Each structure stands twice: as C-alpha cells, then as structure tokens.
Structure 1
Amino acid sequence: MTAAPATAHPGHPGRQWTATWATANIAAAPDPFGGVNWADGFENQSLRQVVRISRGGSEVRVRLSNVYGTGPLRLTGATIGRTAEGASIVPGSLRPVLFAGKRSTVVPAGRQVASDAVRLRVAPLERLTVTFYFAKRTGPATFHPFALATSYRAAGNHLRDGSAGSYTETSQSWYYLSGIDVSGRHGGAVVAFGDSITDGSFSTPDANNRYPDELAERLVAAHCDKGVVNAGIGGNRVLTDSPGFGDRAIARFGRDALGQPGVRTVIVLEGINDIGLGVGPDSKAVTAEELIAGHRKLIRAAHARGVTMVGATILPFAGVTYPGYYTEDGEKVRDAVNQWIRTSGEYDEVADFDRALADPADPDRLNPAYDGGDGLHPNDAGMRVMAETIDLDEL
C-alpha cells in the first residue's frame, strides 16, 4: 500500500512556518499489546492531547490528519493552551483554533489540514495541550500508537474547560493530531525518521526522554534555532508495509519527513525490523543490497528537495529477547548496511549509534547500561547517548 497523499490548508498566506512538533500516523488498528485504544473513533466526545514542542514562536498552528480515514472527518471545534498538570490548562492561555476562519472543519479522507494562525507566544520545550471535540461519529481514527504520552477523553463538549475533572479516560496514543508549527524566522526543522527506537519505546512515559526530545534539549542549550520532530513508528520497516506498524519507509518518507514545514535535515534510523522480521508478504530474509537500495531511495528523494541526510547506523541486537528475531545471517546484513552507511559517502553525514551504544565486551550486543530490557531498545540513558552522538554542526 502506498501512503495516501496529504494536503494542507496554508492558514494565513505569507507566514513562514516551521514544524516544532510532529508525529507519524498509521491506520486504525488494535493495540497488539492490549493497551487502551480509541482508534475505532469518537462521537460526542472531547479529546485532549499533550505534547512538548521543540522551538518557540509568536504564533502556532495545528495540523489535523485524516490520511487513513474511511470517510470525511468532521471536527466540531478545537482549542490549544499551555499545559498545567494532567489534562488541565494554565489559566488564561486557552485559545480557539480556527480553520479558514471557522470553528469547525471537514477533512476529506486521505488528507490533512492546517489551522489558521493562533496568537499564542510559546517557548522552546514548552508543553501544549490540544483539544478536539467531535459531535458526530468520526469513523476509524488516523492515529499514532505507543505515544508514551497520556491523552485524555471526556464525554460531551469540554473544549473550553480548563480543568481536568471531566477527562476521566486515558490512552497512550495520539489521534488525528499530526503536527504543530510555529511562525517566524527559524533555522528550519530536523526530522528524526525511523522505527520504535526513534519513537522512544522503552523510554519513560510522559517524560519526553526519546532521543529526538534529548536532541531538542541539546539544540536549545546550544542556542541553535532549529525545531526537532519525531517521525518514528514502532515496528516500521524500510521495504514492507506492516498492519499496525505503518506504511513502509520508502512510501511514507515524502509525507512524514519531507512534508514537514521547514525541513532542512532528516536523520534516518531504519532497517532493524526488515532484518528481524523479514520483507514481503512471506517475510523472506532481507539482503543488505535490498536494504541499501531502500536507503538510497530515501536519499535521492531528500536530495531532490535540497534536504541534508544523516544516516544513523543500526543498533546492536544480538541480545534481543524476541524469539527468532536475531540470526547470524541477520547480523551479517546489519554489519554490511552499517559499513555502507559509514563509508559510502552517500549519506551527507553519519550518526554512529551502533558504536556509541554497543557493549564494549561484545559489540554485537547493546551495552547493558543502555538496555531498556529487551536487548533491542535503549533506555533513557541510551536515548541520551544517541542524542549526544549527533554532531550539532552536521544539522
């Protein structure tokens, strides 16, 4: 399946927008781990979602996605404000979000829209709360599972309710929300593109310790005026679509990476799931040549847009706890792809996550100090090391 095209209402013409937060969405699917999942949609319900932005600005806009919808998405209203605690809003910060001057909008199936500019001055690394109200049945939701962030749901219209009292249900996914942009002159956006490791799996929920979050903190500390957005999807593969884990990387790259407003640089960390799970409907073993060819497609697409590409080496996985995921042949593929990333010069720059997180006693395994518990995903400390591995000048 090829990713559906996406279009965006420009909001107010003449403004320069830069992505300050984003997520990569998938089609509605059950939670494979049995978590709370509202992907079947909403009706007469308010949905409140908390995100942490990377860059500040004098105005914001919200992007809403129905890319995987089966019919038109009717949004009755939306608000944005500064986050207090949980589902509560900082008093005096709540603002209505308009679409072409109206409080409601309809997003056609297969599309996404951007709101008008909202006058709300925001600071780097500030938490914002976006609330949607859907009066009528939405149908299956375009959403992002495994957000590692708490979203809230209330019965009825609580768009302008600054308190948390009505928001009694929670989920660890984002729904329909695809991005937040800030206006003004900025140094562009860095997109972290990848699978569950980029997505932040096994980092602490609600703590914003994913490696792109840590990278954003480094850039702010260095007074570097760039946004950082996370386009990781758990279970994602370069060459194969996966129900519940998103379109293949080569299909979604144009929307999820190159489609981000103000994108200047993309960091690509993809391939371990092709190695561990195989490719194609029969899950046949992937070759290094096939994976490299997939990466080359991403590079060509980015360079055609003048976007810098940073290739991240694939992390060690010999200690993975998932049966059948690691094989000696798969290790050879990983080694070959990493060698190509390091030495071919086809990526503009290299982030050598493999060497930074490898066990000194066994380079094919994740360093125990950075292991989130399954031999594959880094913990908070490992996420921090990944961010520190990136040379800020490369961005």
Structure 2
Amino acid sequence: MSEWTAAWAASPQMPSTGFTPNWSQEGFSHQTVRQVVRVTAGGERLRLRLTNAYGTSPLHLTGATVARAARGAAVEEGSVRHVTFDGRRSVAVPARGELRSDPVRLPVEPLGQVTVTLHFAGTTGPSTFHAQAWADTYRADGDHRADAAGAAFTAVTSSWYYLSGVEVAAARADGIVLFGDSITDGFGSTPGADRRWSDALAGLTGRPVLNAGIGGNLVLNDSAWYGERATARFRRDALDQPGVSTVVVLEGLNDIGFSEASDEPTYKPAPVVTAERLIGGYRDLIRQAHGSGLRVIGSTLLPLGGSDHWGAHSARTSREINEWVRTAGAFDAVVDLGRALADPADPDRLHPAFDHGDRLHPNDKGYQAMAEALAHVL
C-alpha cells in the first residue's frame, strides 16, 4: 500500500536581497515561473506543497502544471499535467500559510527531474522563497504554464519561489532530512549538477533525502537574510515532512563564527555564543525530534580554520561542541564529519581536496565524502 512521502523540499525564507540577485522582493505580475527540482523518491502520483509563509496577504495562484523535465526550461512533450486544489485550478494560499495540491497522476522515477510551473495573472507582492537553489529557475511574461518548449522563459535566476515540497505516493516511507545551514544547502557545489550532500546521500542509499538547509542559518537567532532560527523552524522544515524517519543536524558554525567574521555585514553585531548555549539549542532540537518519534543524528562541526569564521573564540568553542557531540550520548547516533573532512596535517582545517576555496565550505568531492560517512551511520 502506498502512502505520501516527501521526495523534495526547500526551506522557506522571507523576501530579501539575498546573496545573489533574485525576484523575491519584486514578486510576480502577469508572469509564469518555472522551477526544476530533483525528486529522491518515485511514484505514480505526486502532489505539490506551496508556501506563503512570509506573505502578509493571500497568494492568488491562477494555475499550475507539473511535467517531466527536459533541457533547461523545456519539458517532455506530452507530460504536462494541470494541477488542481480541491478540484479547482486557481487557489488562494492564505497569508502565513501553506497548502497541498490534489494528487496528480504523473509517473516519476527516483532521482528524476520534475518541472513545476506557476502562473500569476495578478500581482503577488514580495514572495516567500528559498534564496540559494544551486539550480536555474525561469520566468516568462504572460501565461506559459502549458508550454512544452522553454523559449518564452527568457529570465533566469537561482532561487525557488513559493514551492516548498514535492510529495509522491510511494510504498517506502523511511525518509531522511538533512537539517542545517549553507553547508547542507549546498554552497560550493557545482550549480545545476545536483552535487549537494543530500543528492549524494540519496544516490548512495536509495532512500528519500530532503534538504532543509538555509545559507547562513543559526541555531539560536533569527535573521532577515538567513531565515528563522533552527529551533523555531525545525518542526515546519523537518519534523512535519511526511514519510520521514531520521533527521540529521549539522548546524552551529554561524552561531560561533559570525562574531569572528569582520567582513560579514549582514549579521552585525553578532552575539558571542558560548558552547553551553549552543548545546542547549541542540538539546531543544533533540527533544523536538524525539517528541515526533524520529531518530536524530548529530554531526560534529566541520573544520573552519583559516576561514572568515575562524578566531580564538570559534576555535575554542567548536572544539568544545565537537567533544560534546562525540561523547555526551545525547543524539541517537553521531557522524563525525569534523574528522572525516579534516586535513591530516592540520585538523582545524578542511582537507585541501575537499575545500571549495573559502576554507569553510566543501566542494563536490567533499560533499560526496560527507554522504559516504553518513551512509555508514544510518
């Protein structure tokens, strides 16, 4: 018997200028937005999860379609399906709310690409979005939701808009949520190549894997750019995902590192966070996960020596936190990514082979190594 299982997810953020140019503050008016996502579970039917989490008024969606992706903004001929909501093609997503579509019969394969197209005949205002997609999103003027060709979609950005999940009707429901910051989000991976550690883990395990990373996210504090604090968004972005059995927590570098980052103007003044406070945040996440009946795996922090997050406080605090993660027994299991990605010649630094170039974020090879280390723990 099949049940609904989350196959892809993106954590919502409030509209902002973000790290790169995006359309969140201007929103959409008489336009169509086309987004391509890679699902980590397959099935004969799917449904969409739309979010207006940071909208101050209802979001009026004129219509939506799903299709199997082709090249760029194009989709496979004959695969376009109109999406309905309680039997209607148009819908209003409540302010601060979300909704799921009706089931759509469109067979998809695990690790296959699905294109979701949203049309807005009116004006949306600022858009709830996910800032860093590491994939192209396309925009066209007018109504092009049913187009198989991609010629009308002449504007391109790299964020996701209003789309927070794709769920499939599948027999297997043992999904994994990777919960964290820019490292989980995929910063440093090859854009458009699906090389995040969530992608690598899905390929290794054959299980549904959901990416709940937000670049810059903190465990203990909210930010206009970096999303709500982890302890506040954990239920929405991780625990409430259908079909999930395990959550992996990899977060905290920004809590201890932003106070060291002299050239990071987006979170100033940054509080000096102690290991005790951050451990209290981890204990909160563990309580929430166990309260939902989920297994929670903790990860040690990756080495950050030589990065803009490195300094006397972050050096001392990261060591204290990693020792606690390894020895306290608070998590159901531990994956020691701090050691797995360390430079043997200097354990405070990322191994050069895994370094994207900023001494903080892994590259494709590093993300693959992270997935391999976690696969041994699952």
Taking structure 2 as the reference length, what is the TM-score of the superposition? 0.96
2:278 is aligned to 291
**Structure 2 matches for 1:270-289, cutoff 5 A?**
270-278=251-259, 282-289=269-276
Shift of 1:329: 1.9
Partners of 2:96 and 2:174 lie apart in 1 by: 27
2:342 matches 1:358: yes
**Structure 2 matches for 1:98-247, cutoff 5 A?**
98-220=84-206, 226-247=207-228
Shift of 1:95: 0.6
2:248 matches 1:262: no
Shift of 1:282: 4.3
Deviating above 6 A after TM superposition, structure 1's stretches of 4 or more consecutive aligned residues are none
CA deviations on 1:132-178 (whole Å, 9 max, x unpaired) are 00011111100001110100000000010000100000000000000
Structure 2 counterpart of 1:167, which letter? F
Contact 2:12-2:128 at 8 Å conserved across structures = yes
Partners of 1:333 and 1:205 lie apart in 2 by: 32
**For residues 290 and 278 of structure 1, do their structure 2 counterparts lie closer, same or farther at Cα, with a shift above 3 Å needed?**
farther
Partners of 1:331 and 1:291 lie apart in 2 by: 14
1:314 is aligned to 301
Contact 1:189-1:228 at 8 Å conserved across structures = yes
2:52 matches 1:71: no
Segments of structure 2 that go 5 or more residues without pairing to the other structure are 261-266
2:368 matches 1:384: yes
Percent identity over the alignment? Answer: 50
Shift of 1:278: 4.1
Partners of 2:228 and 2:95 lie apart in 1 by: 17
Partners of 1:36 and 1:191 lie apart in 2 by: 26
Structure 2 counterpart of 1:214, which letter? A
Indicate which of 331, 341, 350 corresponds to 1:347: 331
Contact 1:31-1:37 at 8 Å conserved across structures = no
CA deviations on 1:11-52 (whole Å, 9 max, x unpaired) are xxx97211000000100001244x243442101100000010
Segments of structure 1 that go 5 or more residues without pairing to the other structure are 1-13, 221-225
Contact 1:63-1:112 at 8 Å conserved across structures = yes
**For residues 32 and 207 of structure 1, do their structure 2 counterparts lie closer, same or farther at Cα, with a shift above 3 Å needed?**
closer
Superposition CA RMSD, Å: 1.5
The DSSP-based 3-state class of the residue aligned with 1:130 is strand
Taking structure 1 as the reference length, what is the TM-score of the superposition? 0.92
Partners of 1:366 and 1:15 lie apart in 2 by: 43
Shift of 1:244: 1.1
1:3 is aligned to none
Partners of 1:250 and 1:283 lie apart in 2 by: 18
Contact 1:50-1:129 at 8 Å conserved across structures = yes
**For residues 18 and 295 of structure 1, do their structure 2 counterparts lie closer, same or farther at Cα, with a shift above 3 Å needed?**
same
**Count of aligned positions:** 372
Shift of 1:391: 3.1
Shift of 1:70: 1.4
Contact 1:27-1:143 at 8 Å conserved across structures = yes
Structure 1 counterpart of 2:219, which letter? V
Shift of 1:113: 0.4
Shift of 1:284: 2.2
Contact 1:70-1:140 at 8 Å conserved across structures = no
Shift of 1:317: 0.5
Contact 2:43-2:109 at 8 Å conserved across structures = yes
**For residues 110 and 36 of structure 1, do their structure 2 counterparts lie closer, same or farther at Cα, with a shift above 3 Å needed?**
closer
Structure 1 counterpart of 2:251, which letter? E
Partners of 1:137 and 1:36 lie apart in 2 by: 17
Partners of 1:176 and 1:213 lie apart in 2 by: 22
Partners of 2:157 and 2:217 lie apart in 1 by: 21
Structure 2 counterpart of 1:273, which letter? N
Structure 1 counterpart of 2:301, which letter? I
Shift of 1:342: 1.0
Partners of 1:152 and 1:318 lie apart in 2 by: 38
Partners of 1:64 and 1:319 lie apart in 2 by: 40
Shift of 1:187: 3.0
Structure 1 counterpart of 2:276, which letter? E
Structure 2 counterpart of 1:334, which letter? S
**For residues 39 and 174 of structure 1, do their structure 2 counterparts lie closer, same or farther at Cα, with a shift above 3 Å needed?**
farther
Contact 1:38-1:171 at 8 Å conserved across structures = no
CA deviations on 1:283-307 (whole Å, 9 max, x unpaired) are 2211000000000000000001110
Shift of 1:121: 1.0
